Protein backbone atom coordinates (compact mmCIF):
# COMPACT_ATOMS: atom_id res chain seq x y z
CA UNK A 1 0.00 0.00 0.00
CA UNK A 2 1.37 3.41 -1.03
CA UNK A 3 0.40 6.62 0.71
CA UNK A 4 1.33 10.02 -0.75
CA UNK A 5 1.57 13.33 1.10
CA UNK A 6 1.64 16.20 -1.42
CA UNK A 7 2.49 19.77 -0.48
CA UNK A 8 -0.75 21.62 0.29
CA UNK A 9 -2.13 23.62 -2.65
CA UNK A 10 -3.62 26.63 -0.82
CA UNK A 11 -1.16 29.49 -0.31
CA UNK A 12 -2.35 30.19 3.28
CA UNK A 13 -2.11 26.53 4.32
CA UNK A 14 0.87 25.82 6.58
CA UNK A 15 -0.33 22.50 7.96
CA UNK A 16 0.73 19.09 6.69
CA UNK A 17 -1.51 16.01 6.70
CA UNK A 18 0.94 13.48 8.14
CA UNK A 19 3.69 14.32 10.63
CA UNK A 20 6.78 12.12 11.11
CA UNK A 21 5.32 10.49 14.26
CA UNK A 22 2.38 9.12 12.21
CA UNK A 23 4.58 8.22 9.26
CA UNK A 24 6.62 5.96 11.57
CA UNK A 25 3.44 4.22 12.78
CA UNK A 26 2.17 3.64 9.23
CA UNK A 27 5.56 2.38 8.06
CA UNK A 28 5.49 -0.10 10.95
CA UNK A 29 2.09 -1.29 9.68
CA UNK A 30 3.70 -2.11 6.31
CA UNK A 31 2.70 1.05 4.43
CA UNK A 32 5.11 2.79 2.00
CA UNK A 33 4.95 6.58 2.43
CA UNK A 34 6.07 9.17 -0.10
CA UNK A 35 6.25 12.77 1.01
CA UNK A 36 6.66 15.61 -1.45
CA UNK A 37 9.83 17.56 -0.70
CA UNK A 38 9.08 20.44 1.69
CA UNK A 39 5.51 19.25 2.49
CA UNK A 40 6.03 19.67 6.24
CA UNK A 41 8.45 22.58 6.21
CA UNK A 42 5.92 25.32 7.04
CA UNK A 43 4.67 23.25 9.99
CA UNK A 44 8.23 22.89 11.37
CA UNK A 45 8.65 19.29 10.18
CA UNK A 46 11.70 19.24 7.87
CA UNK A 47 12.22 16.53 5.23
CA UNK A 48 15.01 14.93 7.29
CA UNK A 49 12.51 13.98 10.02
CA UNK A 50 10.26 12.27 7.46
CA UNK A 51 13.22 10.37 6.04
CA UNK A 52 14.21 9.26 9.57
CA UNK A 53 10.64 8.05 10.13
CA UNK A 54 10.90 5.85 7.04
CA UNK A 55 9.28 7.96 4.29
CA UNK A 56 10.75 8.53 0.82
CA UNK A 57 11.13 12.19 -0.10
CA UNK A 58 9.95 12.76 -3.66
CA UNK A 59 10.24 15.81 -5.93
CA UNK A 60 8.14 15.01 -8.97
CA UNK A 61 4.33 14.93 -8.63
CA UNK A 62 4.20 11.96 -11.05
CA UNK A 63 6.57 9.88 -8.90
CA UNK A 64 4.57 10.86 -5.82
CA UNK A 65 1.10 10.17 -7.17
CA UNK A 66 1.01 7.79 -10.11
CA UNK A 67 0.80 4.60 -8.02
CA UNK A 68 -0.49 6.04 -4.74
CA UNK A 69 -3.39 4.12 -3.20
CA UNK A 70 -4.19 6.92 -0.76
CA UNK A 71 -3.42 10.64 -1.11
CA UNK A 72 -3.63 12.43 2.21
CA UNK A 73 -4.09 16.18 2.45
CA UNK A 74 -5.35 18.82 4.86
CA UNK A 75 -7.40 20.80 2.34
CA UNK A 76 -8.84 19.75 -1.00
CA UNK A 77 -6.35 18.14 -3.40
CA UNK A 78 -5.23 20.65 -6.03
CA UNK A 79 -6.26 20.20 -9.67
CA UNK A 80 -2.65 19.16 -10.37
CA UNK A 81 -2.92 16.37 -7.78
CA UNK A 82 -6.31 15.23 -9.12
CA UNK A 83 -4.87 15.24 -12.62
CA UNK A 84 -1.81 13.16 -11.72
CA UNK A 85 -3.44 10.53 -9.49
CA UNK A 86 -4.61 7.18 -10.80
CA UNK A 87 -8.37 6.58 -11.14
CA UNK A 88 -9.66 4.73 -8.11
CA UNK A 89 -7.09 6.17 -5.70
CA UNK A 90 -8.43 7.35 -2.36
CA UNK A 91 -8.18 10.99 -1.29
CA UNK A 92 -8.51 12.03 2.34
CA UNK A 93 -8.82 15.57 3.68
CA UNK A 94 -11.10 18.45 4.58
CA UNK A 95 -12.90 18.27 1.23
CA UNK A 96 -15.62 20.80 2.21
CA UNK A 97 -18.30 18.84 0.38
CA UNK A 98 -21.40 20.29 2.05
CA UNK A 99 -23.12 22.81 -0.15
CA UNK A 100 -20.71 22.16 -3.05
CA UNK A 101 -22.16 19.30 -5.12
CA UNK A 102 -20.17 20.34 -8.23
CA UNK A 103 -16.88 19.67 -6.49
CA UNK A 104 -17.99 16.26 -5.23
CA UNK A 105 -19.18 15.49 -8.75
CA UNK A 106 -15.70 16.38 -10.08
CA UNK A 107 -14.08 14.05 -7.54
CA UNK A 108 -16.44 11.26 -8.56
CA UNK A 109 -15.84 11.91 -12.28
CA UNK A 110 -12.09 11.61 -11.63
CA UNK A 111 -12.75 8.15 -10.19
CA UNK A 112 -11.59 9.12 -6.69
CA UNK A 113 -12.64 7.22 -3.60
CA UNK A 114 -13.02 10.37 -1.51
CA UNK A 115 -13.09 10.50 2.29
CA UNK A 116 -14.09 13.85 3.81
CA UNK A 117 -12.95 14.44 7.39
CA UNK A 118 -16.03 16.66 7.87
CA UNK A 119 -18.57 13.88 7.30
CA UNK A 120 -17.13 11.31 9.72
CA UNK A 121 -20.11 10.56 11.99
CA UNK A 122 -19.92 12.04 15.47
CA UNK A 123 -20.14 8.77 17.37
CA UNK A 124 -17.94 7.81 20.32
CA UNK A 125 -15.90 5.30 18.28
CA UNK A 126 -14.96 8.09 15.87
CA UNK A 127 -13.84 10.63 18.47
CA UNK A 128 -10.16 10.03 17.79
CA UNK A 129 -10.82 10.80 14.08
CA UNK A 130 -12.68 14.05 14.77
CA UNK A 131 -10.56 16.58 12.91
CA UNK A 132 -13.25 19.26 13.07
CA UNK A 133 -12.88 19.21 16.85
CA UNK A 134 -9.07 19.01 16.92
CA UNK A 135 -8.77 22.01 14.60
CA UNK A 136 -11.64 24.08 16.02
CA UNK A 137 -10.04 23.73 19.42
CA UNK A 138 -7.00 25.53 18.02
CA UNK A 139 -9.16 28.18 16.36
CA UNK A 140 -10.89 28.97 19.66
CA UNK A 141 -7.56 29.33 21.48
CA UNK A 142 -5.99 31.49 18.77
CA UNK A 143 -9.06 33.76 18.52
CA UNK A 144 -8.60 34.79 22.14
CA UNK A 145 -4.89 35.50 21.65
CA UNK A 146 -5.71 37.70 18.64
CA UNK A 147 -8.38 39.57 20.61
CA UNK A 148 -6.06 40.04 23.57
CA UNK A 149 -3.31 41.46 21.40
CA UNK A 150 -5.65 43.90 19.61
CA UNK A 151 -7.56 45.06 22.70
CA UNK A 152 -6.07 48.28 24.11
CA UNK A 153 -6.67 46.89 27.61
CA UNK A 154 -5.53 44.13 29.96
CA UNK A 155 -7.58 40.93 30.14
CA UNK A 156 -6.99 40.28 33.89
CA UNK A 157 -7.91 42.50 36.80
CA UNK A 158 -4.77 44.16 38.14
CA UNK A 159 -4.19 45.86 41.44
CA UNK A 160 -1.15 48.09 41.04
CA UNK A 161 0.46 51.02 42.81
CA UNK A 162 -1.11 53.20 40.10
CA UNK A 163 -4.56 51.91 40.96
CA UNK A 164 -6.85 49.06 39.98
CA UNK A 165 -7.57 47.89 36.44
CA UNK A 166 -10.89 46.07 36.00
CA UNK A 167 -10.90 42.80 34.03
CA UNK A 168 -11.92 42.75 30.37
CA UNK A 169 -15.39 41.41 29.55
CA UNK A 170 -15.52 38.74 26.87
CA UNK A 171 -18.63 37.27 25.23
CA UNK A 172 -18.34 34.04 23.25
CA UNK A 173 -21.28 33.36 20.92
CA UNK A 174 -21.56 29.72 19.87
CA UNK A 175 -20.34 27.32 22.57
CA UNK A 176 -19.30 24.29 20.52
CA UNK A 177 -15.73 23.07 20.38
CA UNK A 178 -14.13 26.39 19.33
CA UNK A 179 -16.34 28.45 21.62
CA UNK A 180 -15.65 26.35 24.71
CA UNK A 181 -11.89 26.55 24.10
CA UNK A 182 -12.22 30.32 23.62
CA UNK A 183 -14.08 30.55 26.94
CA UNK A 184 -11.45 28.46 28.73
CA UNK A 185 -8.58 30.48 27.23
CA UNK A 186 -10.15 33.86 28.02
CA UNK A 187 -10.77 32.68 31.59
CA UNK A 188 -7.13 31.59 31.92
CA UNK A 189 -6.12 35.11 30.89
CA UNK A 190 -8.31 36.50 33.66
CA UNK A 191 -11.24 37.99 31.74
CA UNK A 192 -14.84 37.94 32.94
CA UNK A 193 -16.47 35.65 30.39
CA UNK A 194 -19.99 34.89 29.28
CA UNK A 195 -21.13 32.39 26.66
CA UNK A 196 -24.21 31.85 24.55
CA UNK A 197 -25.55 29.07 22.35
CA UNK A 198 -28.90 27.92 21.02
CA UNK A 199 -28.33 24.32 22.15
CA UNK A 200 -29.59 23.71 25.68
CA UNK A 201 -26.69 21.33 26.46
CA UNK A 202 -24.22 24.18 26.06
CA UNK A 203 -25.39 25.92 29.27
CA UNK A 204 -23.83 23.44 31.66
CA UNK A 205 -20.61 23.27 29.62
CA UNK A 206 -20.24 27.07 29.63
CA UNK A 207 -20.89 27.22 33.37
CA UNK A 208 -18.45 24.40 34.10
CA UNK A 209 -15.69 26.61 32.67
CA UNK A 210 -16.51 29.38 35.14
CA UNK A 211 -18.36 31.56 32.64
CA UNK A 212 -21.90 32.94 32.80
CA UNK A 213 -24.45 31.56 30.35
CA UNK A 214 -26.62 34.16 28.61
CA UNK A 215 -30.22 33.03 28.81
CA UNK A 216 -32.26 33.67 25.68
CA UNK A 217 -34.57 30.92 24.53
CA UNK A 218 -35.16 31.06 20.76
CA UNK A 219 -37.24 27.88 20.80
CA UNK A 220 -36.42 24.67 18.95
CA UNK A 221 -32.89 24.98 17.52
CA UNK A 222 -31.34 21.55 17.94
CA UNK A 223 -30.45 19.68 14.76
CA UNK A 224 -29.07 16.16 14.41
CA UNK A 225 -25.63 14.78 15.30
CA UNK A 226 -25.07 17.30 18.12
CA UNK A 227 -25.27 20.25 15.71
CA UNK A 228 -27.58 23.28 15.73
CA UNK A 229 -30.11 23.77 12.96
CA UNK A 230 -30.78 26.90 10.93
CA UNK A 231 -33.14 29.31 12.72
CA UNK A 232 -36.24 30.78 11.09
CA UNK A 233 -35.96 34.45 9.99
CA UNK A 234 -38.14 35.40 13.02
CA UNK A 235 -35.94 33.48 15.49
CA UNK A 236 -32.82 35.08 13.95
CA UNK A 237 -34.24 38.58 14.20
CA UNK A 238 -35.25 38.05 17.85
CA UNK A 239 -31.76 36.77 18.61
CA UNK A 240 -30.05 39.73 16.91
CA UNK A 241 -32.19 42.21 18.84
CA UNK A 242 -31.41 40.49 22.16
CA UNK A 243 -27.73 40.52 21.28
CA UNK A 244 -27.40 44.29 20.70
CA UNK A 245 -27.53 45.16 24.40
CA UNK A 246 -25.47 42.15 25.50
CA UNK A 247 -22.72 42.81 22.98
CA UNK A 248 -22.52 46.48 23.95
CA UNK A 249 -21.53 45.45 27.49
CA UNK A 250 -18.42 43.57 26.34
CA UNK A 251 -14.89 44.54 25.34
CA UNK A 252 -14.41 41.44 23.20
CA UNK A 253 -16.90 39.33 21.27
CA UNK A 254 -15.77 36.04 19.76
CA UNK A 255 -18.27 34.42 17.41
CA UNK A 256 -18.14 30.76 16.44
CA UNK A 257 -21.76 29.98 15.46
CA UNK A 258 -22.08 27.56 12.54
CA UNK A 259 -24.74 25.33 11.05
CA UNK A 260 -23.27 22.56 8.85
CA UNK A 261 -23.73 23.20 5.14
CA UNK A 262 -25.52 26.54 5.66
CA UNK A 263 -24.52 30.18 5.68
CA UNK A 264 -23.38 31.17 9.19
CA UNK A 265 -26.17 32.85 11.19
CA UNK A 266 -25.79 36.61 11.45
CA UNK A 267 -25.77 37.37 15.16
CA UNK A 268 -23.77 40.58 15.48
CA UNK A 269 -25.60 43.34 13.60
CA UNK A 270 -24.18 46.73 12.63
CA UNK A 271 -26.28 48.14 15.53
CA UNK A 272 -24.56 45.77 17.95
CA UNK A 273 -21.11 46.89 16.76
CA UNK A 274 -22.26 50.51 17.10
CA UNK A 275 -23.21 49.74 20.73
CA UNK A 276 -19.63 48.64 21.58
CA UNK A 277 -17.08 51.04 23.08
CA UNK A 278 -14.16 52.31 20.97
CA UNK A 279 -11.21 49.90 21.09
CA UNK A 280 -13.44 46.83 21.45
CA UNK A 281 -12.72 43.76 19.33
CA UNK A 282 -14.89 41.27 17.45
CA UNK A 283 -13.19 38.08 16.21
CA UNK A 284 -15.43 36.26 13.74
CA UNK A 285 -14.54 32.59 13.42
CA UNK A 286 -17.47 31.95 11.08
CA UNK A 287 -15.74 34.10 8.47
CA UNK A 288 -15.38 31.28 5.92
CA UNK A 289 -19.11 30.50 6.12
CA UNK A 290 -20.15 34.11 5.49
CA UNK A 291 -19.48 35.49 8.99
CA UNK A 292 -21.53 35.93 12.18
CA UNK A 293 -20.98 39.69 12.15
CA UNK A 294 -22.66 41.89 9.53
CA UNK A 295 -19.47 43.95 9.06
CA UNK A 296 -16.93 41.11 8.72
CA UNK A 297 -14.70 41.30 5.67
CA UNK A 298 -13.34 37.82 4.85
CA UNK A 299 -9.66 37.46 5.72
CA UNK A 300 -9.35 41.09 6.84
CA UNK A 301 -9.29 43.17 10.01
CA UNK A 302 -11.32 46.35 9.66
CA UNK A 303 -12.10 49.14 12.10
CA UNK A 304 -15.73 50.30 12.31
CA UNK A 305 -16.59 54.05 12.32
CA UNK A 306 -16.93 53.89 16.14
CA UNK A 307 -13.46 52.32 16.55
CA UNK A 308 -14.28 48.61 16.93
CA UNK A 309 -11.81 46.18 15.32
CA UNK A 310 -13.54 43.36 13.46
CA UNK A 311 -11.29 40.43 12.64
CA UNK A 312 -12.36 38.13 9.81
CA UNK A 313 -9.64 35.57 10.14
CA UNK A 314 -9.68 32.59 7.81
CA UNK A 315 -7.96 29.32 8.63
CA UNK A 316 -6.79 29.99 12.18
CA UNK A 317 -5.56 26.41 12.76
CA UNK A 318 -2.98 27.02 10.00
CA UNK A 319 -1.46 29.81 12.12
CA UNK A 320 -0.47 27.20 14.73
CA UNK A 321 0.66 24.61 12.18
CA UNK A 322 2.86 22.33 14.28
CA UNK A 323 0.29 21.22 16.82
CA UNK A 324 -2.55 21.55 14.31
CA UNK A 325 -0.73 19.12 12.00
CA UNK A 326 0.17 16.76 14.83
CA UNK A 327 -3.46 16.48 15.95
CA UNK A 328 -4.83 16.29 12.41
CA UNK A 329 -2.31 13.60 11.54
CA UNK A 330 -3.46 11.52 14.52
CA UNK A 331 -7.08 11.94 13.34
CA UNK A 332 -6.10 10.73 9.86
CA UNK A 333 -4.21 7.78 11.34
CA UNK A 334 -7.24 6.80 13.44
CA UNK A 335 -9.40 6.86 10.28
CA UNK A 336 -6.93 5.02 8.04
CA UNK A 337 -5.47 2.38 10.35
CA UNK A 338 -8.63 0.19 10.48
CA UNK A 339 -8.63 0.32 6.66
CA UNK A 340 -5.20 -1.34 6.44
CA UNK A 341 -5.31 -5.13 6.33
CA UNK A 342 -2.04 -7.03 6.01
CA UNK A 343 -0.38 -4.00 4.47
CA UNK A 344 -3.14 -3.52 1.84
CA UNK A 345 -5.74 -0.74 1.62
CA UNK A 346 -9.05 -2.48 2.27
CA UNK A 347 -11.75 -0.15 3.65
CA UNK A 348 -14.85 -1.88 4.97
CA UNK A 349 -17.65 0.04 3.26
CA UNK A 350 -20.20 -1.63 5.55
CA UNK A 351 -18.67 0.22 8.50
CA UNK A 352 -20.72 3.23 9.60
CA UNK A 353 -17.65 5.46 9.89
CA UNK A 354 -16.23 4.53 6.48
CA UNK A 355 -19.67 5.00 4.90
CA UNK A 356 -20.13 8.40 6.56
CA UNK A 357 -16.72 9.66 5.50
CA UNK A 358 -16.89 8.36 1.91
CA UNK A 359 -18.48 11.01 -0.30
CA UNK A 360 -17.56 9.57 -3.73
CA UNK A 361 -16.69 6.09 -5.01
CA UNK A 362 -16.70 4.22 -8.31
CA UNK A 363 -17.69 7.39 -10.17
CA UNK A 364 -20.71 7.98 -7.92
CA UNK A 365 -21.49 10.79 -5.46
CA UNK A 366 -22.41 9.24 -2.11
CA UNK A 367 -22.82 12.35 0.01
CA UNK A 368 -25.90 12.34 2.16
CA UNK A 369 -24.87 15.05 4.63
CA UNK A 370 -23.28 14.62 8.06
CA UNK A 371 -24.28 11.37 9.75
Contacts (CB under 6 A) with ligand NAD, residues 338-367: none
User: What's the sign of the alpha-carbon dihedral 336, 340, 346, 347?
Assistant: negative
- Which residue among 265, 317, 321, 370 contacts ligand NAD (CB under 6 A)? 265
Q: In what order do the strands lie in the sheet with 212-213?
A: 212-213, 192-196, 169-173, 252-255, 281-284, 309-312, 301-303
Active site residue 227: yes
User: Which residue, 228 or 295, has its beta carbon nearer to ligand NAD?
Assistant: 228
Q: What are phi and psi of 253, to 5 degrees?
A: -125, 125
End-to-end alpha carbon distance in the chain: 29
Active site residue 122: yes
Stretch that binds ligand NAD, among 33-41, 50-58, 130-138, 274-282 (CB under 6 A): 130-138
Active site residue 328: no
Q: Is 98 in the site for ligand NAD (CB under 6 A)?
A: no
Q: Residues, the chain, total?
A: 371
- Min dist. Cβ of residue 242 to ligand NAD (A): 10
144-183 burial code (b ≥16 CB/10 A, e <16) = bbbbbebbebebeeeeeeeeeeebbbbbbbbbbbbbbbbb
Cα–Cα nearest to 273, from 299, 305, 242: 305
Stretch that binds ligand NAD, among 27-35, 62-70, 223-231, 345-353 (CB under 6 A): 223-231
Q: Is 335 in the site for ligand NAD (CB under 6 A)?
A: no
Active site residue 130: yes
Q: Active site residue: 37, 42, 122, 199, which one? A: 122
Q: Is 259 in the site for ligand NAD (CB under 6 A)?
A: yes
Q: Which residue is nearest to ligand NAD (CB)?
A: 176
Q: Is 198 in the site for ligand NAD (CB under 6 A)?
A: yes
User: Which residue, 41 or 351, has its beta carbon nearer to ligand NAD?
Assistant: 351
- Which residue among 227, 271, 338, 371 contacts ligand NAD (CB under 6 A)? 227
- Min dist. Cβ of residue 36 to ligand NAD (A): 30
User: Which residue, 122 or 323, has its beta carbon nearer to ligand NAD?
Assistant: 122
Q: Is 226 in the site for ligand NAD (CB under 6 A)?
A: yes
Active site (catalytic) residues: 122, 127, 130, 133, 227
Amino acid sequence: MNVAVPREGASDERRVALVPETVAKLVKAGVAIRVQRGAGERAAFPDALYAQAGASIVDEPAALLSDADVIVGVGRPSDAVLGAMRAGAAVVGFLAPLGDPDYVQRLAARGATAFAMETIPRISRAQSMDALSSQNNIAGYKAVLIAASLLPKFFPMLTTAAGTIPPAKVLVIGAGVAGLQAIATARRLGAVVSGYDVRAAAKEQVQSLGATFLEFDVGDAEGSGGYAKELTPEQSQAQRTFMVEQIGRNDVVITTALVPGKRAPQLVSADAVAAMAPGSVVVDLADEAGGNCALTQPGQTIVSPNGVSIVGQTNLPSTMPQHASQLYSRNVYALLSPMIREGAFAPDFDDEIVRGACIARDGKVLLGGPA
